[in-house]
Amino acid sequence: MQAQATVSEARSKLAQLKKVQELSNNKVPSQAELDAAEATYERAKADEASARATVSQAQATLAAYETDLSKSVIRSPINGIVLSRSVEPGQTVAASFQTPVLFTLAEDLTQMELHVNVDEADIGKVKEGQRATFSVSAYPDRTFEAKITQVRFGSSTTSGVVTYETVLKVNNTDLSLRPGMTATADITIKNIENTILVPSAALRFTPPVQEEKKPSTGLVGSLLPRPPRLASEKGENISLKRKQQRVFILNDGKLVAVPVTVGSTDGNMTEIVGGDIKPGMAVVVDVIGAGK
């Protein structure tokens, strides 16, 4: 618009000089003034053409940006609850090889996952589909139910302890659980009903051994060589004790060993699958010395 106004002004100035020249019979203005007015008029038209070209270029650039904008629609991959936001409205998002993180979303907080690190000594017993219970610090008096959906093969080592990540599915309908909470889980690997249990301490109990009085051999006997003891006798007794499972009961005030066949254990109680043990029978777990 400024260029058009300049062209109009230069055109009027040139027309005025020509009319004066005509009325004065070419006496005034001078030819130099007339040439300068014509040159000013031509420069004004050139500026107008340049301005129009600049407008066309700006319109083309705007159309290119609008095309890019129409193709650059940022959509959320899921519909959920926003946990954190890394950008503000109107902020420029630059395209790169790595997708920028704009929001952290939780898809459905009513169905959550619990990631549990299982020790390498126990991972062989953990299977998909097993039930588990867990607790969190926010609700110390409440127990939550879960189900194993995946047992991963990748391991991680923390302070020399090898663990395997296990994924559990959790129903969080009341939204009491939140992302990032720390949980302690108990996985049920086997369910045994209607069986006889004994304390695991009863299987580890060993009766106290009374020291036998050795006959005195005197000075001569202590100096003379004696036949060597059979080392295999002591080794066989130890091996037998390790293989044989037994518990002790009191019969008329005496300790009586009862051979048993053990099954599963949770560390505190052990299942008895065979042996002369009846429900309610008292077994020995420890002895109390005299004067204690």
Written as one string, the DSSP assignment of 264-277 is EE-SSEEEEEEES-
Say yes or no: 49 and 139 in one domain: no
The candidate with the shortest Cα–Cα distance to 130, out of 186, 188, 172, 192, is 188
Residue 57 lies in a domain: yes
Report the DSSP beta bridge partners of residue 166.
Answer: 116, 151
CATH number for the domain spanning 158: value is: 2.40.30.170
Is residue 25 very low, low, confident or very high in pLDDT (cuts 50, 70, 90)? confident
Sort residue 90 into left (φ over 0), alpha (ψ -120 to 50) or beta.
Answer: left
Say yes or no: 57 and 27 in one domain: yes
pLDDT digits (tens, 9 = 90+) for 222-253: 555 555 555 444 555 554 444 458 899 988 88
Mean pLDDT over each residue of the chain, to the nearest integer: 85
The candidate with the shortest Cα–Cα distance to 117, out of 165, 157, 168, is 165
Helix (H) or strand (E) holding 234: helix 231-243
Contact 258, 198 (CB under 8 A): no
Instruction: Retrieve residue 4's tokens.
Output: 């058009």
Residue 83 lies in a domain: no
What does the alpha-carbon distance between residue 89 and residue 87 come to, in Å, rounded to a whole number? 7
- pLDDT at position 8 is 93
Contact 255, 207 (CB under 8 A): yes
The candidate with the shortest Cα–Cα distance to 18, out of 8, 6, 33, 5, is 33
Is residue 145 very low, low, confident or very high in pLDDT (cuts 50, 70, 90)? very high
Q: Give the rounded distance of the alpha carbon of 169 from its chain centre.
A: 14
Instruction: Retrieve residue 155's tokens.
Output: 């391991």
Say yes or no: 123 and 174 in one domain: yes
What does the alpha-carbon distance between residue 141 and residue 178 come to, in Å, rounded to a whole number? 17
CATH number for the domain spanning 269: value is: 2.40.420.20
Least confident interval from 191-200, 230-239, 252-261:
230-239
Share of the chain above pLDDT 70, in %: 87
Say yes or no: 155 and 197 in one domain: no
Least confident interval from 125-129, 164-168, 219-223:
219-223
Q: For the chain, how many structural domains are there in total?
A: 3
Residues spanned by the domain of 288: 192-207+237-292
Q: What is the mean pLDDT of residues 241-266?
A: 81
Residue 96 lies in a domain: no
